[in-house]
Chains A and B, each alone.
Chain A
Amino acid sequence: MQTTAGEVAFHELIDADEKIEPRDWMPDGYRKTLIRQIAQHAHSEVIGMQPEANWITRAPTLQRKMTLIAKVQDEAGHGLYLYSAAETLGISRDEMQQLLHEGKQKYSSIFNYPTLSWADMGTIGWLVDGAAIVNQIALQRTSYGPYARAMVKICKEESFHARQGYSILLALSRGTDEQRAMLQDSINRWWWPALMMFGPHDSDSANTPQSIEWKIKRVTNDELRQLYIDQTVPQAHYLGCTVPDPDLDFDVETGHWSIGAINWDEFWDTVKGNGRLNRERITHKVKAWDDGAWVRDAATAYAHKQQTKLEKTA
């Protein structure tokens, strides 16, 4: 097979650690991998609105309510931004939404877990957004330009969310016995799912080697997970809490925390659609989309009428 000039240029850019831009030649596999990954990322932001919207109407103070609304709004904004980044690869937002609704594109499994107490609003900010940040900081150096730039912008807001989340938990940790119990219960429920957010072990991750070679992925799943564990365990202890892992151990020599075995059956069950709320999340999304069809149709029809009027008067 002959090597084209475009292909040579692509590899030169990758080797030189420079960015691939929408008009550059790129291998089909590179394009497909990016569409899959960016769309999944966008869908995660959008589906991720649901577990938090679940507590907006019940937030305990006006200030917490407003902060939570603003956070959910940021997620909608991130979704828009990421859909735009994916659209530079030649797929439309509507197509991606359709694929999501049909289960052909995924979103982060973490959002299939239910939010069962107010403490979960803190835990999601701290553990879930915290994990997303570790992942996204690495992605700021990803080889595809529009994705890398989106990550820079999104990381700033996510850091803010993580701090807000931790502040909810700090308030609980300084509160009553009931509040501290609520806090510990929340950490118990979210700790393992948060660790699973980094994906399967490197040895079981089919996409990792090629993605590393293309510099879409700059750091492996296990490396990111370890980084996250090391920074997060002390934060849990600072809250006066434990993480639900009897095998958790600190290795003085390496300076790393080691964890017990992750329940990968639960992970794969959730990925395959049998998590706690997979069906509910998609049903909610599809219903909102279907219920809004008449509105979107009306907007299109109105715009068309206005255009026709303009043309007549021109």
Chain B
Amino acid sequence: MNTATVTTPLARYVVRLADDNLILGQRLAEYISEAPELEEDLAIGNLSLDHIGVAMHLYEYAATLGDSSTTADKLSFLRTEREFTNVLLVEQPHAGFGDVIARQFFFSAYQTLLWEALASSADTILAGISAKALKESTYHLRHAASWVVRLGDGTDESHDRMQAAIDSLWRFTGELFESDDLCAEMVISGAGTDPAALQVPWDTKVAAVLREATLTRPTDPYQATGGRTGMHTEHLGYMLAEMQWMQRTYPDMEW
């Protein structure tokens, strides 16, 4: 029997939130020692640690729900691509600092709104995790937005590079606000929130930062989707292959 699963709706919802954080934390971790300066290596490490830390708390909580016998590590290291329910944005690879910042900016702008809403969840444990995560993501957004502005309004080259990063990741932002049956159920129970309600404030925030950065808000109507149902881009499989390598190669051991 696969013990890396959860069954209750609340647990599935919590795992979905956790997946976003683990996958982004892992992407950020890839970049450590490659940043433009030491201060940014430190900052990227912080971001990565925050996201993985939140993921661990959420997975641990999900593992206590229902009659599950799973653990945070099993959920992280023993599920396949089709079982991960993160949004596509966080699994996107980065070719450089501009991509790292654009991805973080879009995601943190969403996550500050999400945690703010979930901080008043009827589920007190989820509310507690969200309140702590809100403080972290507020810092993440400030950090990312300040780089969007500096790169957008820096040199001609940095303006072009930042615009290109914004343009290329824009198609993964719509998915952040997709609702589904699980969201609807969580809204009814009071544990969760409707992501669709976060889109307008997100757009306002993002547009303001882009304007300050002298960047153009993309208008590409194409929006990718599928992450929440495990229909990922091809990038996720490679990331999992690397991330899960130890647990797959040496199963059932203590580390």
A residues whose Cβ falls under 8 Å from a Cβ of B: 46, 49-50, 53, 56-66, 69-70, 72-73, 76-77, 79-80, 83, 118, 168, 171-172, 174-176, 178-179, 284, 287-289, 291-302, 305
Contacts and interface: CB of A to CB of B under 8 A. Distances in A.
A296 B30 CA distance: 21
Interface of B: 22, 26, 29-30, 32-42, 45-46, 48-49, 52-53, 55-56, 59, 72-73, 76-77, 96-97, 149-151, 153-155, 157-158, 161, 242-243, 245-247, 250, 253-255
21 contacts: A53-B33, A57-B29, A60-B250, A62-B22, A62-B73, A66-B49, A70-B49, A73-B41, A76-B45, A118-B246, A168-B255, A288-B33, A288-B35, A292-B40, A292-B97, A294-B157, A295-B97, A297-B158, A298-B150, A299-B154, A301-B155
Contact of A58 (B59, B96, B246): B246
A46 B39 CA distance: 12
A310 to B, nearest CB: 15
A79 B154 contact: no
Given A58-B245, A64-B255, A296-B36, 5 more contacts: A50-B33, A57-B242, A69-B48, A76-B42, A292-B37
A298 B243 contact: no
A32 B53 CA distance: 44
Given A60-B255, A294-B161, A72 B250 contact: no
A79 B36 contact: no
A77 to B, nearest CB: 6
Nearest to A42: B38
B139 to A, nearest CB: 15
Contacts of B253: 60, 175-176, 178-179
Nearest to A48: B33
Contacts of A70: 45, 49
B62 to A, nearest CB: 13
Given A57-B243, A60-B255, A179-B253, A69 B52 contact: yes
Nearest to A297: B155
Most buried by A among B22, B154, B161, B246: B154
A69 B149 contact: no
Given A46-B38, A297-B158, A299-B150, A72 B254 contact: no
A175 B55 CA distance: 27
Contacts of A168: 255
A102 B233 CA distance: 41
Contacts of B153: 302, 305
A176 B154 CA distance: 55
Given A58-B245, A69-B48, A301-B154, A80 B38 contact: yes
A284 B39 CA distance: 17
A76 B243 contact: no
Most buried by B among A65, A287, A296: A65
A239 to B, nearest CB: 15
Contacts of B247: 60
